[in-house]
Structure 1
Amino acid sequence: MSQSVGTLRQQVTGDLYAEVQTFYAQQMRRVDALDIEGFADTFTDDGEVVHAGGQRQSGRVEMIAGMRANLPRYQDIAVRHWFGHLLIEADPQDEDTVRVSYYTLVTQTDREGKVSFQPTFTVDDVLVRRDGRLLTRSRVIHRDSPAAPAAS
């Protein structure tokens, strides 16, 4: 599925941009370290993830169960999630809600140091501020694919 090019209606402050970047750095270090409970703790209790294949996980308990089931895939490899090209937009109706769209690349490094790249994705998140900290309320993951050729 080809992703449309988005534009921001209003630029966010540098402080919010840095806070969102730091949030993702901490969130991804948890998942890359296979800290499943710590990663799930970066979502709201009713947080939801819609994976590129259409699978949906709702709530921390379901997320943790899904991640535990996938742990054998990550034996003997180091996984790194790389995010870039973040588009961050504050919700004009709710100062505690931030919408973020970004590209992600996942690498896997084996014991010999060989690096493999996983398919790329575009991710759309809704972050909310609860008790002064950002949490992910929803995440929708879109697998990248070539754009359809332009009609002649």
Structure 2
Amino acid sequence: MVQAVGVQQVSGDVYAEVQSFYARQMRRVDALDVEGFAATFTADGVVVHADGHRQAGREEMVAGMRARLPRYEDVAVRHWFGHLLVEVDGADEDTVRVSYYTLVSEVDREGRVSFQPTFTVEDVLVRVEGRLLTRSRVIRRDVPGGPGVSAAS
């Protein structure tokens, strides 16, 4: 595997910590706990959505999520992450860069399952007072021939 300059391979403990962080974060969003989800970001955290819409700060994230809540009244939502690439920033051991694929499923009251398009996500996690928080997230919708994560990443 080719590693980028200034990036360190992570230990199994850090990899497991990152996976546990995402499990807790996504359980909050799947439970429609918008405040709890926003609390997994730094106060000045930024999300750039696939459509280019940018949300900065927890308050803006909460407002945006609240506006979309009616869409999820009659479905159970699950976010599935896979193929995580986790790298500690060589200049700052408290900064972790993560790239992963995500799939979102929705189950209606009759048990029918539907899927949203897949996405590639790039996160920057930072350790604040001993716990991981998301400082930035960039979400890109997967399209044929579009930008994605290279095999050497």
Q: Structure 1-normalised TM-score?
A: 0.91
Asked if the contact 1:102–1:124 (Cα under 8 Å) also holds between the matched residues in 2, the reply is: yes
Runs of 4 or more above 6 Å deviation = none
Q: Paired residue for 2:113?
A: 115
Aligned-partner residue type, residue 73 of structure 1: R
Counterpart residue number, 2:94: 96
1:41-98 CA-partner distances (Å, limit 9, x unpaired)? 0000000000000000000000000000000110110000000000000000001000
The aligned counterpart of 2:34 is: 36
Task: State the distance in 1 between where 2:129 and 2:9 align.
Answer: 24
Q: Number of aligned residue pairs: give it.
A: 143
The Cα RMSD (Å) is 1.2
Call closer, same or farther: CA 1:33–1:7 in 2, change over 3 Å. farther
Which residue is 2:150 aligned to? none
Whole-Å separation in 2 of the counterparts to 1:102 and 1:124: 7
Please say if residues 48 and 137 of structure 1, whose CA atoms lie closer than 8 Å, have aligned partners that are also in contact: yes
Deviation (angstroms), 1:8: 3.9
The structural deviation recorded for 1:7 is 5.1
Residue matched to 1:134: 132
1:49 aligns with 2:33: no
CA distance in 2 between partners of 1:57 and 1:147 (Å): 27
Paired letter, 2:131: R
Match of residue 78 from structure 2: 80
Where does the alignment leave 5 or more consecutive residues of structure 1 unmatched? 1-5
Asked if 1:17 is matched to 2:15, the reply is yes
TM-score by length of 2: 0.91
Distance in 1 between residues matched to 2:131 and 2:44, nearest whole Å: 16
Letter in 1 for 2:58: R
Cα contact 1:8–1:89 (8 A) shared by 2:
no
